[in-house]
Structures are given as C-alpha cells and as structure tokens.
Amino acid sequence: MNVPKFFLLVLFQIVLNFALVTVPCGGSTLKQVLPLGFQGSQMNYIDNDGFFLVSNSSNFAFGFITHTSTDTTSYLLVVIHKPSLTTVWTANQGNPISYSDDFFFDETGNAYLKSKNSIVWSTDTSGKGAVSMQLLNSGNLVILGSDPSSPLWQSFLHPTDTLLSGQSFAEGTKLVSLSDSQNLTYSLSIESGDMRLYANFPEVQPYWSMRQDNRTIVNKVNGDLHSATLVNNSWNLYDKGGSLLWQLILLDGESDANITLAAVLGNDGVLSFKNLQSSSVGGGGSSVIKIPEDSCDTPDPCNSYYICYSGRKCQCPAVLGSNCNTDITSPCSSSSSKTSFSLAKLDDGVRYFATKFVSPFAQTNLTGCKNACMSNCSCLAMFYDGSSGHCFVFNQIGSLQHKGGNSGNYSSFIKVTGTSGGGSGQGSEGGNGGNRHLILILIICLTAALVIAGLALCAIQIHRKKSVSEPSQEGSSEDESFLDGISGVPIRFSYRELQSATNNFSQKLGQGGFGTVYLGQLPDGSRIAVKKLEGIGQGKKEFRAEVSIIGSIHHINLVKLRGFCAESTHRLLAYEYMANGSLDRWIFQSRDEKPKLDWSKRFDIALGTARGLAYLHQDCESKIIHCDIKPENVLLNDHFLAKVSDFGLAKLMTREQSHVFTTLRGTRGYLAPEWITNSAISEKSDVYSYGMVLLEIIGGRKNFDPAEGSEKAHFPSYAFKKLEEGKLKEVFDARLRSDDKDERVEAAIKVALWCIQEDLTLRPSMARVVQMLEGLADVPMPPGSSQMGFRLYANVFKSMSDEGTSSGQSDCNSDAYLSAVRLSGPR
C-alpha cells in the first residue's frame, strides 16, 4: 500500500517538472526562428536573461544585456557566444536603451530597435520579401527571404568590434572598438591593398600593418589584399580574385574545422584572437595571439606624452616635470599667438609608434625638421631620423615608447610653452657666467643696431634724392615693401629656385583664371604645389591677398602656404602638396559608377571644411571671408583630410564691420543671392556657398545638372521639395549604403538647407554649423525657401550656365552677372 503512494508521488513530481519546462510563460520562450510581427523587450524576456533567439546548437543567443557591469538600467541588443559569454555583435553600440524599449521584426520584414519614439537601429529590409529571422550556428544573424541560401541582411556584413570563424572581412568594412578612458577609439580596415589598425585621432594615425607583420606566411608575392577570413586555425588573407596571399597561424597543430575563433578589437587598441571553445563558462575565451605583440606599440597604453617601457611601465619624460603637462591647450587659437613655444628634447631611445607607418613630412636635416614644427601652430611633436633624413610631425600625440638599444641618429622633440617643463631642451647655461655672457651680447647688439640705424638713415637720404630725379617703378618695388611689412611671412623663394623645383614648370596640376598650378619638389624632398600667377592687375591683387592672409594663419583644415616668390614681374605661391587633389574629383561621377568615397569619409570632409571656415570667420585676428567656396577649393591630403584652399578672393574684415561691399567675385552656382542683387555681403555668404557644397557631398552630384531631369535638375529646389514632403532621405546619394541609425545623414541634409536660406539672417554661423554636425547642438527642421526666389536664382544660374563653360571669363561687363572664372587652388 505504501509503495504505490510513493510511486504516484514521484510520478506526479516528474510530470509537474516536465510541464514547467515545456509550457511557455507568456511570450518569453526562447525561439530558433523569429516570424514576421515579432515584438519584444528586455522586460518580456527577463526569465531568459533577456534573450529571445538562439541558434540550433544553442551556442549563440540574440537578445538584451546590460550596458556595463556598473550600469544595470541600460541595455544593448547583442549576439553573444553563450559558453564564454563573449559579445560578438552589437546593434546599438554606443546608444543603450531602457528595459521597456522594444525590438521589432514587423510585418513588412524590417527589423529595428525603437527607443521612445525614435529608431535606434534598423536593417532597412522593409518590402524586400523577408519571411523570417534566424541565428545561424556560425553566430551570423540573418534575415531570410524565399531563398534561404541568400540572406537579405546578415550581421556578418555589418561587424562592430568582433569577427568570427567563417566571417569575411572585406575592403569597405571596418571594425571599430569601444572608446577608452580618453574617449579614443580604434579601427581596423583594409585600404590600398593592406590591412591596418588606426587610432581615431582627429587625423587618424596607423599603428600596425599586415604587410609589416613578420609573423605572416607569404603564399603569393605582389598582390593587393582585398579580404580576410578566419578559417580553422589561421587567418587567411586573399586578393580580389580570391587567391591566398598570406596566412597568420593562430593555433599550432592540426586544423580543426569545428573550432570557433574570434578576433576582438579591444578598447586598448589590441586585436586579440580568442578560441571561444577552450574557455570556461564566462571566461571570455582564451587568447591565442595579439596584434600588436607589444602593448607599447599601441597608441595609448599610458596617457599622452608618457613613455611606455617594456612590460607597460609608464613614466613621464624628465623635460615635463612631475605634472607631465606641456601647458598647450589650443595651439592655433588667437590667444596662443601671444604665447612663446619651444621644442623640448626627449631622452635618447624615445620614439613614436606612428613613424613606422606614415610617410615622412619632409626629408631634411634636424634644423629643417625643427623649423617645420615651429612654423606650424598645430604641430605638437616632431621626430627626426638622422640616418634617412626623414622628418615626422604630428598634431596629436598618444603615448611615446622606449624600445631600448642603440637609438643612433634618432631625435625626438615635443612642443612646450616657454615656461613649461624644463625649457627647450636645447641646453642652457646658468649662474653668473650666463649673466656675463648675456650682458656682453646685449652691448654688441645695441652697438650693431646703432650702426645699422645710421646706415639706414643714409640710405633713406640717398633714396629720396634719387626718387626726385628718377620716377619709381610700379610693380615689384611696391610689392617688396608690402611684403616686408608682413609679420610671420612665409619663406621667400627666388624665381630660379621654384623653376628648378618644378623642373621648369613641366608637370601641370591645374589651370585657373589667374594662374596655373605645377607640381614641385624642394631640396629637402618635400613636394609642393606652385601657383604661377599669369598677369598683373587683379592677379597682383590676388597675390597680395593670398600672401598676407594665408601666411599669417595656420589651421589643420586650411592649406598651408610654404612660401612665395616676388621677383621682378614674377608672382608665385608655393603651397603644401595635397596628394588626393580637389574634392570634385571624388564626388562628381556618372550615376552608374561605384562611388569613390563612402559616407563616413564624405561626412569627415564636410566637417573638416566647416571647421576651416569657422576658423577664418571667428578665430583669426581679422575676420576673413573666403568668397569662393566650391569643391575645387576643398583639397584632400593622402588621408582624405579636408583643407580649404585658395584665399585669393578673400577680403579681410575688421570685427567692427558686419558687411562689406566689394566687386562681384567667386564661382557661379555657389554664390549667395545677395551677390546677384549687388547687396552687401558678409561671412554668411560663405555659409551659403558651404551649404551648396555640403548638398553636393550628400547627393554626389552637382547642384545644377540638366541630365537629372526637370524635377531634379536644380538640386537645392529638389531638396527643399523633399523637405516639404518629409522625404529627406531621398536627397542622399542612392549609391551609398544607408544606415537608418546613422543620425548624421539627416542632420547633414538639414544643416545644408539651413545654410542655403535666402534670408541671410536665418543662416547659422560656421561655428554653429560645426556644432550641429558634431552632434553638440540640435538641428531643428529648416524652413522652406521662397519658391519664387529659388526659381529666379535657378533660372539666372541656368541661363549663365548655357552661356559658356566655367573655365573662361564671362562676356558680361555688369557686376549683376556672375563671373565665369573658376580659380584653381593648389592640387
């Protein structure tokens, strides 16, 4: 009798346990396939630790996790490797949500994450025939249509900071790390046939190259890298044709097809390869190899300016003292122009990681390298290799490194203020002996000054007597006295020097209304762009303006004037050479061509251009209006850093002036309406021109193109129409990959439309434009523009475009017509 009761009790317990396991509780059951119409939040799936989708093998899961171990109220939507608890993909990296915010896989086939009333992330697959979402055993999150072998969307093509076995990492994609304590991120990408790691400073700095890693096994010589895949126990790297170029062996022994490897780019800048299957639960995977090998080869193992020694020991340079501070905050600001700077020499053996991966700034001697840094306000450090003559200058510095061994002829200097950290590092004498020397030098200098003053008075008297009998020549003498009065004027070259540098002006880079630009090379090996002004009159006026303006200002987004020639009738300007030429070459293509620049590069160029103009308008001693902003005058260096060029049409304004009347100048298509009506102009005219350029960057087309059809021919009118229809995304270049969670797209379009308002009082300042593009200020919806006014302006522009090309001068004499002259900036 007791046995059956016990048996029944055990049987009841088994049935109850089975029911608790199999009966779903609400909607929180883990799924292997998500159907259309699915909706869920972290709150709904709290019983499953926030996960709602698993792979068939149960090794990978898709769902919500807490943002950080300390922030348990914010969540990320992720794919994780469950045994090691390694996050391998994130939908909303850097943009966490709350526990009640929902993930949707709606009836149209679009998957998206919504926080309050805004879309945080989306796959943009609406209306493409999606039927389900699955998480494959490889860790690849896919949206499938009628053909399961061809996903409509997959996370493997949109990596965040991790790559998995079998995942192809190709040219055009990028890994980006989380930010470190200094808010610095790192990235991995394939460009120009090589794979590199970069520190994402304002001007990126590479710190590792696959071609230079001696651990790779070379399978094919002379090939350009196009893609890389983690296969079995190695990282295989292929060319565009699929041929194996190199291998990086990650695990010794026989290859294992079932192994799961992960390449994770950490916020320390290290790319770590991990075997996810060899770890204990929650162990994060065991690391098998790291890139770079030495942590001191990463950009910021210590704080900026600290020296990293083997074993990651950090020490401040002796020249900076205990606070390890150069006392330099904004080296190119107007307030810094009154501060004295010097170069402090670092200890022997101190180097900088980026010098192995960037091209030298110049080939020169140590003195020339120092001068190059001191003459550039944005330069914060310089490194000189005496054995090769290579000079490297940097405007942003991470950690320094000390590798030990023989430093040879290698010299390192950092820029400090006159009172900072132990002086210039050049060595100084102290005590009474130094004072006696100083007094002696002062006496000699005063005596010499008196002699020179006496000679100068005699020369002036002789010159006055000669000027009575001999008429003064107009031209060069007038320019000489003008140029001699400019403080901080660039290097004066002789005509013969520039003739030799350009090989007798043999290689032409561009042609403009006032001159031709030629490629040149100085004796120190640095390349320059020489603008040879052809003619006098306005050409001479152009010359004076450019030398006085460009020579007195320095900014990372403004082309630097290296020197000039004012000899006899010759007028030449020597600029820094910009390897990638002007912006128009990179954004104006036929609609069937693949775009040369992705959206991120275009946005960085637009932001850099805005920063350069903001500096001209607000941070210079005198307000400077450029007057000719156009894509041809936005130049790109070898890293596609944008620099505004060609200040020849600029006009200085004092801060008390708000407007200035001047002769009509600039390039049609980019001129504000006040130019056409002969109204007073201000820096807001540059804002209008910038807005036109920004629209062209966004749309990848010219602002007037009859080939686009009647509706789209005048791009600004079309953009305002789409604004009224609430379809701003249709203004975006359809050839570019669009990411709905990228708020920069809509922000940039709205900023452009604010800039081209006909009422100049509605246009924002360039400083405000920079803030809006950087996300530091809200971008409200811009008002529509007067259609009558825009039609009038478009018709004027169109009629003038029909009259002639942009390479020659207009036949119209009236200032009411736009000049057809398109000046050529340095290329």
List the binding residues for ATP.
532
- Cβ–Cβ < 8 Å for 131, 144: yes
**DSSP class of 662:** -
- Cβ neighbours of residue 458 closer than 8 Å, sequence gap 6 or more: none
Quickly list H helices, 201-319.
none
314 Cα distance to chain centroid: 29
CA distances from 599 to 64, 237, 694, 801 (A): 29, 26, 12, 29
AA letter at 127 = G
Residue among 161, 628, 686, 733 flagged as catalytic: 628
Cis peptide before 292 (omega within 30 of 0): yes
DSSP letter for each residue of 295-357: GGGSS-SSSTTPEEETTTEEE--GGGTTTT----S-TTSGGGGGS-EEEEEPPTTEE-GGGGT
Of 59, 31, 42, 46, the closest CA to residue 132 belongs to 31
Please, are residues 704 and 798 in contact by the beta-carbon 8 Å criterion?
A: yes
DSSP state of 749: H
> CA 273 from chain center: how many Å?
28
Residue 779 DSSP one-character state:
-
Residue type at 451? V
Q: What is the DSSP letter of 429?
A: -
At how many degrees (to 10) do helices 715-725 and 744-755 cross?
Answer: 120
Q: Are 285 and 279 in contact (CB under 8 A)?
A: yes
Q: Which helix (H) or strand (E) holds 163?
A: strand 162-164
Residue 735 CB contacts under 8 Å (≥ 6 apart), including other chains: 591, 594, 595, 700
Task: Check if the beta carbon of residue 383 is closer than 8 Å to that of residue 351.
Answer: yes
d(CA 244, CA 234): 12
CB atoms within 10 A of CB 776: 9
φ, ψ for residue 498, nearest 5 deg:
-75, -30
How far are the Cα atoms of 193, 234, 290 from residue 218, in angstroms, in the given order?
15, 13, 19
**85 Cβ partners below 8 Å, 6+ apart?**
281, 282, 283, 284
Residue 628 among the catalytic residues: yes
Binding-site annotation, residues: 532
Which residues participate in catalysis according to the annotation? 628
